[in-house]
């Protein structure tokens, strides 16, 4: 199932929007290549985190106190 900015895996909910959007983009590309959904999500998450780190971007939302 391809994901969108409005419909994405729950595991991405605490990511900052740019990082979440990159993970969605990567996951959809992996799905198109035939990677199973249960593998695409963790791979996309790791790659999006690396992408953000390389750009000195904040990765996750700050938890409320």
Tens of pLDDT along 21-45?
Answer: 999 999 999 999 999 999 999 999 9
Distance separating alpha carbons of residues 43 and 28, to the nearest angstrom: 11
| pTM for this model (two decimals) | 0.90
> pLDDT grade, residue 62 (50/70/90)?
confident
Cβ(31)–Cβ(40) below 8 Å: yes
Helices H / strands E in the chain, number of each = 2, 0
Spatial separation of the C-alpha atoms in residues 31 and 54, rounded to whole Å: 24
Residue identified by tokens 């938890």 is 63
pLDDT over 90 percentage in the chain? 91
């Amino acid at each position: 199932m391809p994901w969108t900015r409005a419909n994405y895996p729950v595991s991405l909910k605490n990511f900052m929007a740019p990082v979440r959007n990159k993970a969605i983009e990567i996951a959809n590309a992996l799905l198109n290549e035939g990677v199973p959904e249960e593998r695409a999500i963790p791979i996309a998450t790791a790659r999006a985190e690396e992408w953000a780190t390389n750009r000195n971007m904040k990765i996750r939302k700050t938890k409320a106190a």
